[in-house]
Amino acid sequence: MKVLLVVYDNDSFISEFPLNIAYVASALRDAGHDVSIYNQDVYHYPESHLTDYLKKNKFDVVGVGVIAGYYQYRKLLKISEAINAVPNKPVYIIGGHGPSPEPEYFLKKTRADFIVIGEGEVTVVELLNAISKNNVLTEVNGIAYLEDDKCVMTKPRALIAEVDSITMPAWDLFPMDHYTLMRQPRIKNNERSLPMLSGRGCPFTCNFCYRMDKGIRLRSAESIIEEIKVLKEKYNIAYIAFYDDLLMSSYDRTLSLCEALIKANLNIKWYCNGRLNYAAPELLSVMKKAGCVFINYGIECMDNDILKVMKKNLTVEQIVKGIEATLSIDVSPGFNVIFGNIGENKRTLQQGVEFLLKYDDHSQLRTIRPVTPYPGSPLYYYAIEKGLLKDVKDFYENKHLNSDLLSVNFTELTDDEFYRVLFEANKVLLENYYNYQKEQSIDTAKKLYFDRDTQFRGFRQT
């Protein structure tokens, strides 16, 4: 079958490589399908262009995957409208974190024919096989569709146990010279980067997090190293962004992977998502030796009681020790702090601000966002149980209008009070960041004119 996979426009100057779509493309191609990619993200086509493209080019299937963001939801509706405007439209399939937990709502809103729930590599191949052979759809695990306006959900799809068996992403179908320009923390202007996965899932269960994967499945070090070698050879990649939910899923796993990377002598930089309860000085030193230059940490809050509510399995003491250990070896930490979980107040917000100021290494602009109870997360069902949220329609159409605005207020503050304290907090953080940038620019000018700095390359924003 001829399949078109749509990568939606995220309004970015340089787009992140759509890793999940690339994995699905590989699986479909391995099964004998003719796969093409529609790169709205790169060329910024209006949705009308997609309608015309589908009219001019015959496809049997068109697929779109989205996460559960307010922007992505509205983008999906526009793309769906464009697809539905095509006479004799292809079979329309959607998937991803957005539709998976609430398939009936998304089927009716998008008029999609099918939703692939969870991992797509095996499911979408079986679904297309069933469609082409007119087989019984209920025998395809992990899908949802409408029948007489009622949602039919088949048995859940078992997760792919052997993740090493998954074919590498179909990079050759994409405009790689665009994606490799993505800038990452501590990357040089002459270095090219791409994302990878070292595993799927996460062993932790934070109350605000929704994941399709339950538990964690890890790739072997040999498989990871093989993929890095391919990326270096084919695309001259010097920097790997590990997009796993959590590469630092345990002390031993992180250590063994880093030792394998060191032994392979790949000469690459990389960053990953980490856990501060594993951020021991000896492990961090090995990570740095293996090429790690940035670790993105989920801190969320600097209050032990709130961390317990969040089910972070983390303490303030562990956070402080881990951040200090990371900074001490000149690896930049990512500081992710959110506000507004159950029980939070002005004091917990201020604790977050003070922490961010104290440990700021000026490598990134960091602000604080409200917590969002995405569909499928424990916090989402809590909000419905407490009457703070009616249902998925209420979430997407009334509440989740922007990721920096409240969708559900779990605190005892009024909405106006919530916004006022959050503004004051972010005002301090923004002033701190831009004051530092101003001072650095002035110091650069002094060095240029008074020290006759011949290495100066011009006043630039990028």
Question: Is the predicted pLDDT of residue 460 greater than 80, yes or no?
Answer: no
Question: Is the predicted pLDDT of residue 462 greater than 60, yes or no?
Answer: no
The pLDDT value recorded for residue 459 is 87
Q: In this predicted model, what pLDDT tens digit does every residue of 88-131 receive, in sequence order?
A: 999 999 999 999 999 999 999 999 999 999 999 999 999 999 99
Q: How far is CA 7 from CA 22, 40, 72, 81, 200, in A?
A: 10, 6, 11, 15, 21
Question: Is the predicted pLDDT of residue 276 greater than 70, yes or no?
Answer: yes
The pLDDT value recorded for residue 364 is 87
Q: In this predicted model, what pLDDT tens digit does every residue of 332-348 receive, in sequence order?
A: 999 999 999 999 999 99
Q: Which amino acid is at 56?
A: K
Domain 180-450 superfamily per CATH: tm_1862 like domain (3.80.30.20)
Q: In this predicted model, what pLDDT tens digit does every residue of 206-263 receive, in sequence order?
A: 999 987 677 899 999 999 999 999 999 999 999 999 999 999 999 999 999 999 999 9
Question: Measured at the alpha carbon of residue 281, what is the angle toward residues 275 and 283, in degrees to the nearest 5?
Answer: 65
Q: Which amino acid is at 401?
A: L
Q: How does strand 61-65 pair with strand 2-7?
A: parallel
Confidence of residue 148 (pLDDT cuts 50, 70, 90): very high
What is the enclosing helix (H) or strand (E) of 22? Answer: helix 19-30
**Fold annotation for 2-153:** Rossmann fold (3.40.50)
The four Cα atoms 228, 234, 236, 237 give a dihedral, to 10 degrees, of -30
Looking at every residue in the chain, the average pLDDT score rounds to: 96
Evaluate if pTM is beyond 0.85.
Answer: yes
Distance, CA of 416 to CA of 242 (rounded, Å): 39
Distance, CA of 241 to CA of 15 (rounded, Å): 14
Q: How does strand 150-153 pair with strand 143-147?
A: antiparallel
User: Which residue ranges does the chain devote to CATH 3.40.50.280?
Assistant: 2-153
User: Which residue ranges does the chain devote to CATH 3.80.30.20?
Assistant: 180-450
